[in-house]
Structure 1
Amino acid sequence: MLDFFAKDKSVAGPGFNRWMVPPAALAVHLCIGQAYAFSVFNGPLSKLIGIDSPAPDDWKLTTLGWIFSLAIVFLGLAAAFGGKWLEKVGPRLTMFVAACCFGGGFLISAIGVSLHQIWLVYLGYGVIGGIGLGLGYVSPVSTLIKWFPDRRGMATGMAIMGFGGGAMIGAPLSVYLMDHFKTATSVGVTETFIVMGVLYFISMAIGALAIRIPPPDWKPAGWVPPVVENKMITKHHVDIEQAMKTPQFYLLWLVLCLNVTAGIGVLGQASVMIQETFKDTVSVAAAAGFVGLLSVFNMGGRFFWSSASDYLGRKRTYFIFFTVGIILYSCIPYTGHSGSVALFVIFYGIIVSMYGGGFSTVPVYLADLFGTKFVGAIHGRLLTAWSAAGVLGPVLVNYIRQYQIDQGVAKGEAYAVTMYIMAGLLLVGFVCNMLIKPVDAKHYMRDDAAKADKPVLGGNAQVASAA
């Protein structure tokens, strides 16, 4: 059984159709994307004892907020430390372990809910489930890049689009199951966690069993690498530890962190923001519709922008993200003053599409700079930028908003300063992106060293003679 999960056992045989790989990746990403919908549990979890309204011993929303935060932190940590393991054991075993962790996290959380022990929920969904999130997020990406050297952006966009769209399945499924299991003495969360844990494990396990990696030096039939050289796309490979010594890695870390910071702060406060900006104009139901629409832009942007980057190039795509983002964030206060709900929605839709596009474009940006051999591991390290942005974005939006209100600023105008700060952050990201150049040849692996998975330790002359 363990032999089945060996990396060499997952190498595709002759005639394998590479279009079988994206559905396997989606089977994982559509499940772990449920994390974006975890907030639907916050209300019921705060009424486990009181049922209809919170009782004195019920968990507070501030206590429950740590569940999602822990999951995102451990997503980043698991991706950072598990990425190198992924390159060693292959995507099949990594995806299966992710299925066990994510599905098992729900089951442990179900026990915690049943016993009313918050630490078990933290451990289950936050820590173990978060590890499943991180491993499940990075494991299909490097495989897709290797299967689609002709359409790297499109391939990763298909999978990561699933993560953005996972909430569109997870949210209604969660609500339906809680309504189904709800009784006079239970809000139905325990049973819902059990069902979802089992369902997600099955779906992710199927994806793990279906995944295949291409044989060494495989290329699509009839595909010939472009004759015109693109200096931003290397034909060489950089070891993960060597990649950490390059300025390109840290510049791209800042690029991702700043792009995500600007978008994630908006997503976390979207409903409240539009209601406070257009008081007495936008209802609660309309605000909920706005949040749903942003999810569509988030999901669609992941596929659209990463596919477009195959033609535009990754650096130019991020140039668009930052340039357009700066303009839109600077113009959003005007939409509030003018009372234009339509412009407000359109501007934020475009911003969130570029937020999602940043996630799906960055893996292929890494592959262009560092090669495909260790892209999964390098991508994992880079995702720590997501963890940082997950804290920075909401803190900026929430605390600056509250400071403005405390100073007597009307709620509808309290976001103006934040929007200008976000535009400033994007300006910094713009500069970082423009500074990204091709990786110096001294960091490449020599042909003979590549077989032993050892980075080049010599100078440029040695590398040039072997490359």
Structure 2
Amino acid sequence: MKDEVPAELKELKGKYLKGNDEGKTKLLNEHYAKVKVLEMAGKPKDAKDPDGWKWLTNAEASWPYAICVILFAIFMIPGGRIQDKISPRFGATLGGFLLAAGCILAGLMKSYTGLLLGFGILGGIGMGIGYAAPTPAALKWFGPHKRGLIAGIVVGGYGGAALYISPLGEWLIEKYGISGSFIGLGILFAVVVIIAGQFLIVPREGYVPPMPPETASNNKKAVVSHSEDWSPKEMLKTWQFYALVLLFIGSTQSGFLIISNATGLLKITAFAIPFFAMNAWILASYGGLVNASGRVNTGLYSDKIGRANAYTINGIVSAICLALMPAIMASKSIVLLFIAVGIAYWQYGGGLSLLPSYTADFFGSKNLGVNYGLVFLGWGLGFFMPALAGKIKDLTGSLDLSFYISAVILVFVVILGRLIKKPEKKQLRSA
């Protein structure tokens, strides 16, 4: 097969990777699918993977992840309630257990149903409950002058996971198969999350976080110095809550657009460079590093220059890069692509440190778990953009229009971010 590919292999490869009605593909990633296509040359289309898994259509493969994302966002709300009313330790333990159980269940069932139940449902619920525990708990210990940095450090761990989970997952698949990788990751998640969760505690009632020293050099525009505590019911009556949800949607939709297409963008741009064309995962791993860095550093400078200013800088620069993305891809410049994609990842990661800080600044720390859980719905709603981009690509053959739409949305939410002000309880009494 050095110079010529058998006709039956061409046909099989085309069906497996193009994603038409009859075509089938492996869930995990395109590289793995290609390997399996070569292995299964000449086998019937309903053949199973050596470890018992059936092949999935592209549509089937997308559903477990979609369900996971939706439930992740929804269960941030009860997860936040658990963090506020019971303890972050219990929330982290429960979330870690459910996520681990979901992965192990998917590995043992070796079926599409198991994938939906295990990864999609149990995994999504577990991640939502578990993710709601650490950030609010950490923020309750610190004053507003450090909220951005603390939120960035906490959520930076989530973004940085892409650096090791992807290569670890590929190694586990190659060594132990798909089932073994699910079970192995499930055990890892159980050990790490449940043990780490035991260190999460919140301050005693009546605790007042330290404030920055009053000096003439303090930047009055940086962050608010005091926040009233709002109940979820009170928060839902303010327009600022819905504005924060829109800010979250705007930030995440552009990030999801890049994240879901990072590998494809590099393949198109670096088509003439074999190394990058065959190792397109490099851009996604690079993005994971920048994503984590953006969370920490955006939080840091938002404490210095203010949340709105930080959101504006990230949003405008990212919008410019999105608008230029079609031209960058046409230029075939790898350097420009890495810069533009890196900025998009930075903006997305930055939003995940800004929004919990915004929520604490506006609505206080007492009910921060459930309040941020409600604001976090905007993260899940931002998932519309990859779906819209897929439709646009089917109709036009490219993602160009998607980049332009995403850039316009970012500009809109940046303007909204300049208008939003801290709510006051008297606006409820006058309503």
TM-score by length of 2: 0.83
Q: Distance in 2 between matches of 1:41 and 1:272?
A: 12
Give the aligned CA root-mean-square deviation in angstroms: 2.8
Q: Distance in 1 between matches of 2:211 and 2:69?
A: 42
Q: Deviations over 1:250-270 (max 9, x none)?
A: 011011101110111111011
Moved more, 301-310 or 143-152: 143-152
Which residue identity does 2:234 align to in structure 1? Q
- Does residue 180 in structure 1 map to residue 175 in structure 2? yes
The aligned residue for residue 9 of structure 1 is none
Going from structure 1 to structure 2, the CA distance change for 1:434 and 1:291 (only over 3 Å counts) comes to: same
The aligned residue for residue 56 of structure 1 is 46
Going from structure 1 to structure 2, the CA distance change for 1:440 and 1:221 (only over 3 Å counts) comes to: closer
What's the CA shift for 1:232?
Answer: 4.4
The aligned residue for residue 201 of structure 2 is 212
Q: 1:376 aligns with which of 365, 369, 372?
A: 369
Moved more, 149-158 or 124-133: 149-158
Q: Deviations over 1:315-367 (max 9, x none)?
A: 11111122212222222233234443312221221121111111111100111
Q: Distance in 1 between matches of 2:240 and 2:224?
A: 11
Q: Distance in 2 between matches of 1:431 and 1:260?
A: 16
CA contact (8 A) 1:45 1:189 kept: no
CA contact (8 A) 1:234 1:370 kept: no
Q: Deviations over 1:80-128 (max 9, x none)?
A: 2332232111201111111111111112112221xx3x22221111111
Which residue identity does 2:70 align to in structure 1? V
CA contact (8 A) 2:270 2:277 kept: no
The aligned residue for residue 83 of structure 1 is 80
CA contact (8 A) 1:240 1:378 kept: yes
What's the CA shift for 1:64?
Answer: 2.0
> Unaligned 5+ residue runs, structure 1?
1-37, 182-187, 406-413, 444-456, 461-467
Q: Distance in 2 between matches of 1:266 and 1:331?
A: 13
Secondary structure of 2:272's counterpart equals coil
The aligned residue for residue 311 of structure 1 is 304
Q: Distance in 2 between matches of 1:101 and 1:300?
A: 28
What's the CA shift for 1:169?
Answer: 1.8
Going from structure 1 to structure 2, the CA distance change for 1:192 and 1:336 (only over 3 Å counts) comes to: closer
What's the CA shift for 1:459?
Answer: 4.7
Going from structure 1 to structure 2, the CA distance change for 1:300 and 1:285 (only over 3 Å counts) comes to: farther
The aligned residue for residue 18 of structure 2 is none
Q: 2:343 aligns with which of 340, 345, 350?
A: 350
Moved more, 228-237 or 239-248: 228-237
The aligned residue for residue 153 of structure 2 is 158
Q: How does 1:87-236 map to 2 (within 5 A)?
A: 87-113=84-110, 116=111, 118-149=112-143, 150-181=145-176, 188-219=177-208, 224=213, 232-236=224-228
Which residue identity does 1:328 align to in structure 2? C
Q: Distance in 2 between matches of 1:276 and 1:419?
A: 15
What's the CA shift for 1:132?
Answer: 0.8
Q: How many residues align?
A: 392
What's the CA shift for 1:42?
Answer: 7.7
Secondary structure of 1:56's counterpart equals coil
Which residue identity does 1:420 align to in structure 2? Y
Q: 1:415 aligns with which of 377, 393, 399?
A: 399
Q: Deviations over 1:383-442 (max 9, x none)?
A: 21121111x11123222222212xxxxxxxx33322221111112212221221120222
CA contact (8 A) 1:157 1:360 kept: yes
Going from structure 1 to structure 2, the CA distance change for 1:81 and 1:214 (only over 3 Å counts) comes to: closer
Going from structure 1 to structure 2, the CA distance change for 1:162 and 1:252 (only over 3 Å counts) comes to: same
What's the CA shift for 1:49?
Answer: 12
Q: Distance in 1 between matches of 2:66 and 2:308?
A: 31
Secondary structure of 1:299's counterpart equals helix
Moved more, 225-234 or 141-150: 225-234
Moved more, 216-225 or 286-295: 216-225
Q: Distance in 2 between matches of 1:96 and 1:50?
A: 42
